[in-house]
Amino acid sequence: MVRVCALVLTGWTSAYPMARTIVLLIGAMASLAIAVLSMLRSRIKLYRPPVQGPVPGSVPQYAPRQLPRMRRAGITIAALLSSVAFLVAIWLPPRDAHPAQELTPQPAFAPIALPPARAIGPGVGIFVEYPDGSGGMGCTAGFLVHSSTGQAGFLTAGHCNRPHKASKVTMNLGDILPYARLGTFSRTVNEGDRTEQHDIGLIVLDGEDVPQTSAIAASLPVSGVTTDLWVGEQLCKYGMSTGQEECGQVLDITASKVVFTAAGRCGDSGGPVYAVQSDGTAAAVGIDIRGGNPLNPKAGCSAPAKFSVAELLQPWLQKWKLTVVTNQPPGPR
């Protein structure tokens, strides 16, 4: 797993077209009112009774009419508000600006660096975006599955998501930004990282029309699922951070886990764990959920793991009524 803090970057061209129009109208009306008032003040002469000069018989004088203090302050405030309104209106861009009006296009940002892929499938890097906007996590896609109703999806580690959250999932499709949306978490089980505590999640493919491949790393065909495991057997895994197949011998098997000596890194969580068959295909075994290093148990993500732990696949296929998608070549006709 790889944790990141998501920075929400909203393009200026994506909001507030109505606000811009309203502010422009208010500013225009305020300016017009001030202009008309100034014109009236300069052209309308109000009669004032004459005031006798200091010397009897001298020419009468007319005292200039003074506006009340509150009215003068109101005009000043109106002028200031008009200026502010125009400044705000200038800085609020329209929603659908013509291409010729855009001097520089807004860049697209990636929430986390993911390896590019041409299709979603086992071993592909994914980004899980938390729905509350607090961040996300980079993980690896596991085996493709179909539900009993035919809905397509894939499995991954449960700790890649937050409990009871329908987080969105994206991938780096062909090095094109922004990342392509794959779907959302429909099931999340994350009980912890001790012994038999479960850790698995299901993502339903309901996003963009992204190509799919059931082959591991788009190259190793998946021919089925196996539960026939024994200590000393060799299992393999594939994660986005290691970026290659890692294999090792089985050390322990429990009711829901298998431990084997394959190296791993943070970000590999959720990736496929499998047994390579004599015909060159892979039999699905589980989902990579964690790893460790006996010589440095507190290393965390600062050092690669020396062994890996997988959540066994078959119990969850039965519980959730799922079928692993295979790409076994057709037999003779």
Tell me how far apart the alpha carbons of residues 163 and 5 are, in angstroms, rounded to a whole number: 18
Beta-carbon count within 10 A of 20 CB: 18
What SS3 state is found at 274? strand
Residues recorded for the chain: 333
More confidently predicted of 206 and 29: 206
> pLDDT digit string (tens) for 245-279?
999 999 999 999 999 999 999 999 999 999 999 99
Question: Is pLDDT of 322 > 80?
Answer: yes
> Could you tell me the two tokens for 4?
């990141």
> pLDDT digit string (tens) for 227-241?
999 999 999 999 999
* CB contact set of 186 (below 8 Å; sequence gap of 6+): 153, 166, 202, 203, 204
> pLDDT digit string (tens) for 141-185?
999 999 999 999 999 999 999 988 899 999 999 999 999 999 999
Sign of the four-CA dihedral 300, 302, 307, 313 = positive
Contact (CB, 8 A) for 257 and 311 = yes
Tell me how far apart the alpha carbons of residues 39 and 47 are, in angstroms, rounded to a whole number: 18
Question: Is pLDDT of 134 > 60?
Answer: yes
Percent of the chain with pLDDT over 90: 56
Cα angle value 122/124/129 (rounded, 5°): 115
> Could you tell me the two tokens for 1?
């797993």
Beta-carbon count within 10 A of 146 CB: 14
Residue whose C-alpha is closest to residue 300's, from 93, 3, 90, 39: 3
* CB contact set of 151 (below 8 Å; sequence gap of 6+): 204, 205
> pLDDT digit string (tens) for 1-54?
554 433 332 232 233 345 545 555 566 566 656 655 655 665 554 445 555 555
* CB contact set of 75 (below 8 Å; sequence gap of 6+): 34, 37
Q: How many helices (H) and strands (E) does the chain have?
A: 3, 16
Sign of the four-CA dihedral 104, 105, 111, 113 = negative
> pLDDT digit string (tens) for 83-102?
555 444 444 444 443 333 33
Residue-averaged pLDDT of the chain: 80
Tell me how far apart the alpha carbons of residues 123 and 270 are, in angstroms, rounded to a whole number: 8
Check whether domain 125-323 has CATH 2.40.10.10, yes or no: yes
pTM of the model: 0.68
Q: Which residue has the tokens 């000393």?
A: 232
Sign of the four-CA dihedral 26, 28, 29, 33 = positive
Q: In the chain, what are the domain boundaries?
A: 13-48+68-101, 125-323
> Running DSSP on this structure, what letter comes out for residue 137?
E
H/E element, 155: strand 152-156
Tell me how far apart the alpha carbons of residues 106 and 116 are, in angstroms, rounded to a whole number: 22
The type of residue at 200 is I
* CB contact set of 254 (below 8 Å; sequence gap of 6+): 195, 196
